[in-house]
Amino acid sequence: MQQPLILAGARSEELAAGLKGRDFLALADYTPEELRYLIELAIELKRVQKFGEAYHPLKGKTLGMIFEKASTRTRVSFEVGMYQLGGQALFLSGNDLQIGRGEPISDTAQVLSRYLDGIMIRTFAHRTVIELARASTVPVINGLTDSEHPCQVMADYQTVLEHKGKLEGLKVAYIGDGNNMAHSLLMGAAKLGLHMSVATPEGYEPDAAIVKQTQAVASGTGSVIHVCRDPREAIEGADIVYTDVWASMGQEAEQAERERAFAGYQVNEDLTKHAKADYLFMHCLPAHRGEEVSEGVIDGKHSIVFDEAENRLHAQKAIMAALM
């Protein structure tokens, strides 16, 4: 027997029907209304879980989880999320699959589609996710690539909404590397009506094509997207202050070089004086205290990093329930 829709209303039913069977590769693929629906669904699924209510729309379904990059939050949150939705998750290490021995990703996709109801992949090149989705007949969810981190950003903006009561018109300041987090945060801000300023050292800017794309989206939603060098310029009047590690997974050899480049980009007590008095600090984790953020900020009263980490569970449950 089919489970009742958890968000009532004709428009919610229409949106739910339109999401079924789709991939979740990048926020650019979704309309602002669809992203808001997924965030609202995540908040409702969180309420259901907190009250101990049963909701099992994925009973009997299996998610395959391909990991070519190690993870704490991604693996645990997807695995627990599938269990809570009534299904099961299967961990697939890149070293254990034939893609680690040269099998074309398209062949892997077609085979796994015969066994699974959905595939989550956490990998390096974004083209790998695109090729996997192109050949798959079941939904593919991007758990992280070097270019995008859309599930994290859904959890991020869910957390902002829960703490601030709104998204539209808030200002996000991102200080640090113009990496996958910056890319997805920018698109999410543009889609959802937030303003966003990014401050990076020269040579570490977010991808110019992605910035241009987000600015085009922002022109239709009222957002303002700004990229600069000066962290103080970016953080001025910010409601949300965000940073990430200076050297992401796969960039360990660049650690010393990046520490020199980012020396003036630490989010600390002096820098955050320029944000709003009630600013919130966010970080996708893992964090390196004393590098991209001071202990006083990440462990201080403005930090919501563990609420943010928890919401990976709820945001991803919403994505899986909607797509699968």
Which residues are catalytically annotated? 122, 149, 152, 244, 284, 312
Angle of helix 305-323 versus helix 73-84 axis, rounded to 10: 50
- The DSSP output letter for 166 is -
3-state secondary structure of 50: helix
State the pairing for strand pair 171-175/195-199.
parallel
Q: What are the Cα distances from residue 140, in Å, to 105, 155, 223?
A: 13, 18, 29
What values do phi and psi take at 124, rounded to 5? -95, -75
**Which residues have C-beta within 8 Å of that of residue 116, sequence separation ≥ 6?**
62, 63, 64, 90, 138
Residue with tokens 């270019």: 147
d(CA 148, CA 297): 26
CA 282 to chain centre: 12
DSSP 286-300: ---BTTTB-HHHHTS
Q: Which residues pair with 178 in a beta bridge?
A: none
3-state secondary structure of 64: strand
d(CA 109, CA 136): 5
Q: Residues 257, 259, 262, 264: what is their CA dihedral angle, to the nearest 10 degrees?
A: -130
**Which residues have C-beta within 8 Å of that of residue 86, sequence separation ≥ 6?**
55, 56, 57, 58, 59, 60, 61
Residue with tokens 């958890």: 6
